[in-house]
Amino acid sequence: MSDNAKVRLGIIGLGAMGGHVLASARDHADITVTVAADLDPATVERHRATDPAVTYTTDPAQVVAADDIDALYIATPPAFHAELAVAALRRGIAVFCEKPLAVSEADGRAMLAAAEEAGVACAVNFALSDRAAVLEIERALAAGEAGEVLGVDVRLRFPRWPRAFQADARWLDGREQGGFVREVFSHFVYLTDRLLGPVEVVDAGLDYAEGASETAARGHLHAGGVPVHLSAFAGIAGRETYEWVLWGTRRSYTLDAWSRLLVSDGGDWTPVELTGPQGGEPSRLAAFARAVRGGPQVNLADFAAGFRVQRVIEAFHA
Ligand SMILES: NC(=O)c1ccc[n+]([C@@H]2O[C@H](COP(=O)([O-])OP(=O)(O)OC[C@H]3O[C@@H](n4cnc5c(N)ncnc54)[C@H](O)[C@@H]3O)[C@@H](O)[C@H]2O)c1
């Protein structure tokens, strides 16, 4: 592809996330959505009304086989990612896949193998991969500003599960592919793996609601030799909380609510003002487009990272 040609993107899955990416790709400098599919005809019709230039279908195979795509974005529930990704990769189509990469070990391995064989750009859409706060923590760690890193705490709290923006996604409340460990903790495993090294599970456990996904999760993990503790609850009376804290001997860092960064040198937490691009779907689409055109893949997880995260997440469900 030439350096300034727009990447022609197919989308499969037009629910909460697929709809968000479709909107993020509207008027995008690097991406144009040509074709999109969802199994649900009403969902397709809703998007046809807002983005009429896209060709729609209820048959995902038609997107995978389309002549007018360079890349495929997959935003179905995770158990369907593998079949679609592998089929696209066999055609040499680049793939931008939602997290978690897959649920079953065999599916994750198949995706990784297909990606290696195809040799095209493959990325997993972790929300923290290009956030300004994450890039700042990464810089500070590389500069040694934290001192020795002694541990990481992850605290997640959900008054309601599934959350309001995914209220229609009933699969999120099931045990087969749902639950907040897969849906949310996966982002923080990615972050920890990226900043500290591969994550190993020492001990992990879930408590389930009857016939539904987990209401509590606890984990003792290690990342590059550093202890990582997870505490998470759903269905509680309390504020929705996404907190990742890195404890250093000289300076500690809190990433709060995905994008707010606070530091402590031993006293109170002080907010850090982050200037420049904050990161989000439009910038991740731009980064993916650069990789599709043959450039380096920067601040985007590859399938190998996605598979490492999947294995950690699925250890909670073993
Ligand atoms: N990166 C992020 O920040 C982020 C945020 C939310 C969700 N996600 C991920 O995005 C994916 C989708 O989540 P969601 O919240 O949009 O779910 P959703 O249920 O709102 O949307 C999924 C859509 O896929 C459709 N679908 C189901 N099976 C299909 C198939 N085989 N082929 C085509 N369409 C199919 C459904 O009809 C639905 O419209 C999941 O992997 C989820 O974990 C990522």
Residues 244-281 have pLDDT tens digits of: 999 999 999 999 999 999 999 999 999 999 998 899 99
Check pLDDT > 80 for residue 1.
Answer: no
Question: What is the pLDDT, as a whole number, of residue 244?
Answer: 99
Residues contacting 229, CB < 8 A, separation 6+: 151, 152, 153, 154, 219, 220, 221
Say yes or no to pLDDT of 4 above 90.
no
The string over 115-146, giving b where at least 16 C-beta atoms fall within 10 Å of a residue's C-beta and e elsewhere, is beebebbbbbbbbbbbbbbbbbbeebbeeeeb
What confidence category does residue 307 fall into, taking pLDDT thresholds of 50, 70 and 90? Answer: very high
What is the per-residue pLDDT for 185? Answer: 98
Q: Which residues line ligand 1 (CB under 6 A)?
A: 12-18, 37-40, 43, 60, 75-78, 80, 98-99, 125, 127, 166, 168-169, 183
| Helical pair 303-317 and 105-118, crossing angle rounded to 10 deg | 180
- Give the pLDDT confidence score for residue 273 in this predicted structure: 97
pLDDT at 240: 98
Give the pLDDT score at 276. 85
> Residue 184's closest CA among 210, 135, 207, 217?
217
Look at residue 2 and tell me whether its pLDDT is greater than 80: no
133-177 pLDDT tens trace: 999 999 999 999 999 999 999 999 999 999 999 999 999 999 999
pLDDT of residue 34: 98
Closest CA to 82 of 69, 68, 66, 64: 64
pLDDT value of position 3: 72
Task: Report whether pLDDT(74) > 90.
Answer: yes
Q: Which domains does the chain have, with CATH numbers?
A: 7-127+281-298 (3.40.50.720), 132-278 (3.30.360.10)
Query: Which residue's CA is the closest to the ligand 1 atom numbered 31?
Result: 80
Counting ligand 1 atoms within 8 A of each CB, the residue from 11, 38, 281, 288 with the most, and so the one to mutate, is 38
- pLDDT one-digit tens code per residue, 78-98: 999 999 999 999 999 999 999
The arithmetic mean of pLDDT across residues 20-49, rounded, is 98
Helix, strand and coil in the chain, % to nearest 5: 35, 30, 35
Tokens at residue 254, please?
């809190």
Give me the pLDDT at residue 69, please: 98
Most ligand 1 atoms within 8 A of CB, residue of 11, 12, 17, 63 to mutate: 17
Query: Residues 10-33: pLDDT tens digits?
Result: 999 999 999 999 999 999 999 999
Residue 56 pLDDT: 98
